[in-house]
Structure 1
Amino acid sequence: MENLVRRVRSLLVNSVGYVMAGFLLLVLPAMLPWLILYRIFERITREEKIVVGKVVLITGASAGIGRHIALEYATRGAIVVLVARREHLLREVAAKCMANGARDAAICPADVSKQDECKRIVDFTISNFGKLDILVNNAGTAKSGLFAEQKNTDDVKAIMDLDFWGNTLTTKYALNQLRRVRGQVVVISSVAAFVPYPKQAIYNAAKSAIVQFYDTIRAEPVGQDITITVVLPGFVESELTKGGPKDHIPSWWPMLSTPSAARAIVEAAVAGKRYHIVPFWYATWLPYKVFAPELLEWPPRMFLLGKPPTRAVETICNTVLGKDNTQKLFRALPEWVI
């Protein structure tokens, strides 16, 4: 009798879920025109942020996207504070920022994977310029490899320490200053926040956690006092993508140039956007994440890992082709696309 009750209860719960999903699918098309009108109204009434003379703190500014974000703000007449571990590269970026039109440029060598360093860079900015208007959380790192094969847990923790804690704790220490001037946090996440890209489990998790963190901050009282712009870039030519293993990214995959990515990021920030996916076509993957997440898993499983997309496909192929031929077929797929 108890088993029957459990089954009935489970059936009712699942039925409610299916009914709600069906209702949303029916309502969504009717809501689209209103959502489009809302977005148009929002764009018309949105005021672009003037960054001339604003103090902009940028982490991970020594190379890659961070370097070019600094240069973009410099051309708009901002005061830039550049943070990274490599001091000699920071000096080069600072000099270039001054040549590009920055009102001033200061460097603060630091490792934001350490909590006290997150506080120190904010204190440095305030002591030198008296305020902080825009915080750009860009610093990040990644390590490629299947999670089940990771032997050094320190490497795994290091990614979260920098990509998540280095991001959120810097924001924590900057909040009072940002609230005072109704400032802005610009967050560099990644499309990996919603795409299950293999061999990047911890990196993907950190980028996803960042998005949820700032979504929650928006709902809290502080979210009414500051602007939060979350940017989700796809694959960009940088040290992270160029320095990865050969089988990490297909050679034919479209890569956005670093200057183009940085320009899009700063333009989104200046426009005060809540979210911005760069380039825009990655947004076409979002419906799959919501309505058919398994379809996002199949291509990387086949073409990057050389595995059948599902157990059912594997069983069918084993029956038709034989187990050995099935393994050879799927192992050959990565060689065709990489």
Structure 2
Amino acid sequence: MRKKTALITGTSSGIGKEFARIHASKGGDLIIVARREDKLKALQSELEKKHHVKVMVIVKDLTLPEAASEIYNEIKASGIKVDYLINNAGFGGRGKFHERDWEKDLAMINLNVVALTTLTRLFLPDFVKRNKGKILNVSSTASLMPGPLQAVYYATKAYVTSFSNAISEELHDTNITVTALLPGATETEFASTSGMDKTSLFENTFSANDVARDGYNGMVEGKLNVIAGVSFGQRMIMGMAPVMPKKMMLKQIRQMQEVNN
């Protein structure tokens, strides 16, 4: 039986790196994508030695508009068939929308939304032609509500969940599944790069490995949504969100994302 090949973006650290380790541990080959070549090469060496799998490295900045097409063309030229597409790459940023660097927010939209959508659009016809394949899009519990002080990030993740759920239903009569992973606060570089590490929201975090394992297993099982890395108390708050007065909810979220003194 041919080994399953997974294409995973954002694999230089965090959840993406753990996805790669999990897939390799199951004997699967990999295509790993990120900007930091040194991190990718180190991961390639680790996985090939430990699990005797093939790991292809593609160094790309997915905030650039042409990057997704270049990845697809490089993989097609290599003759590799992708079985699992894991759109993990993404980043956030804290601050008032009108005060933040617009170029950073635009790059966030390009990565979190445009690159993810483009890769899905490029690989999905191949999946449909073969009538097999699995897509895992990494969203966030942030997708379930608006996020004052992270307005663009929350909005991009709302797109990811909505988009993933919609195309999942479009594919109901195929053997292809689309899963959205909605992590809560997780131990990754996200907290420090987004400025969230000094907020109450990230006082208690879950391990990237646990979150990745839940997401990977959910993808294999063909689940629609997987919520991971969320405490019982956080689940209670999420359950109350739809019935809580909107202004009260927005105030609570803003306060959770303000920097602790």
TM-score for the superposition, normalised by structure 2: 0.88
Which residue is 2:215 aligned to?
Answer: 265
Which residue is 1:284 aligned to?
Answer: 236
Structure 1 residues 278 and 221: alpha-carbon distance in aligned structure 2, compared to 1, 3 A threshold: closer
Tell me, in whole angstroms, the C-alpha distance in 2 between the residues paired with 1:153 and 1:252.
25
Amino acid of the residue matched to residue 206 of structure 2?
L
Tell me, in whole angstroms, the C-alpha distance in 1 between the residues paired with 2:222 and 2:255.
39
Q: Is the 8 A contact 2:191 2:197 kept in 1?
A: no
Tell me, in whole angstroms, the C-alpha distance in 2 between the residues paired with 1:136 and 1:303.
30
1:60 aligns with 2:1: no
CA offset at residue 94 of structure 1? 0.9
Tell me, in whole angstroms, the C-alpha distance in 2 between the residues paired with 1:221 and 1:247.
39
Partner SS for 2:206:
coil
CA offset at residue 139 of structure 1? 0.6
Partner SS for 2:178:
strand
Tell me, in whole angstroms, the C-alpha distance in 2 between the residues paired with 1:209 and 1:278.
18
Structure 1 residues 273 and 283: alpha-carbon distance in aligned structure 2, compared to 1, 3 A threshold: farther
Structure 1 residues 251 and 159: alpha-carbon distance in aligned structure 2, compared to 1, 3 A threshold: closer
Structure 1 residues 209 and 303: alpha-carbon distance in aligned structure 2, compared to 1, 3 A threshold: closer
Which residue is 1:161 aligned to?
Answer: 110
CA offset at residue 203 of structure 1? 0.6
Identify the match of residue 218 of structure 1 among 141, 159, 168. 168
Tell me, in whole angstroms, the C-alpha distance in 1 between the residues paired with 2:235 and 2:129.
34
Which residue is 1:177 aligned to?
Answer: 126
Q: For 1:91-170, list aligned pairs within 5 A.
A: 91-101=41-51, 103-150=53-100, 152-170=101-119
CA displacement 1:293-333 (0-9 Å, x = unmatched)? 5343233344544xxxxxxxxxxxxxxxxxxxxxxxxxxxx
Tell me, in whole angstroms, the C-alpha distance in 2 between the residues paired with 1:100 and 1:125.
24
**Structure 2 unaligned residues grouped into runs of 5+:** none
Which residue is 2:195 aligned to?
Answer: 245
**Structure 1 unaligned residues grouped into runs of 5+:** 1-49, 306-333
Q: Larger Cα Rg: Structure 1 or Structure 2?
A: 1
CA displacement 1:26-81 (0-9 Å, x = unmatched)? xxxxxxxxxxxxxxxxxxxxxxxx9x711100001111111111011000111100
RMSD between aligned residues: 2.4
Structure 1 residues 291 and 63: alpha-carbon distance in aligned structure 2, compared to 1, 3 A threshold: same
Amino acid of the residue matched to residue 62 of structure 1?
S
Q: Is the 8 A contact 1:236 1:257 kept in 2?
A: yes
CA displacement 1:104-153 (0-9 Å, x = unmatched)? 11101112223322122123223334311110000111121111323x32
Partner SS for 2:199:
coil
Tell me, in whole angstroms, the C-alpha distance in 1 between the residues paired with 2:208 and 2:242.
30
Q: Is the 8 A contact 1:144 1:248 kept in 2?
A: no
1:299 aligns with 2:248: no
Greater mean deviation of Cα atoms: 219-228 or 252-261: 219-228
Structure 1 residues 224 and 290: alpha-carbon distance in aligned structure 2, compared to 1, 3 A threshold: farther
Tell me, in whole angstroms, the C-alpha distance in 2 between the residues paired with 1:273 and 1:140.
21
Partner SS for 1:142:
coil
Partner SS for 2:110:
helix
Q: How many residues align?
A: 257
Q: Is the 8 A contact 1:218 1:224 kept in 2?
A: no
Tell me, in whole angstroms, the C-alpha distance in 2 between the residues paired with 1:94 and 1:56.
13
Tell me, in whole angstroms, the C-alpha distance in 2 between the residues paired with 1:154 and 1:96.
35
Q: Is the 8 A contact 1:75 1:102 kept in 2?
A: no
Structure 1 residues 244 and 160: alpha-carbon distance in aligned structure 2, compared to 1, 3 A threshold: closer
Q: Is the 8 A contact 1:73 1:102 kept in 2?
A: no
Greater mean deviation of Cα atoms: 260-269 or 284-293: 284-293
- Please identify which structure carries the higher strand content: 2
Q: For 1:187-226, list aligned pairs within 5 A.
A: 187-220=137-170, 224-226=174-176
Structure 1 residues 70 and 275: alpha-carbon distance in aligned structure 2, compared to 1, 3 A threshold: same
CA offset at residue 188 of structure 1? 0.4
Tell me, in whole angstroms, the C-alpha distance in 1 between the residues paired with 2:10 and 2:222.
22
Which residue is 1:5 aligned to?
Answer: none
Tell me, in whole angstroms, the C-alpha distance in 1 between the residues paired with 2:254 and 2:58.
42
Partner SS for 2:182:
strand
By relative contact order (CA 8 Å, sep 6+), the higher-ranking structure is 2
Partner SS for 1:291:
coil
Q: Is the 8 A contact 2:94 2:194 kept in 1?
A: yes
TM-score for the superposition, normalised by structure 1: 0.69
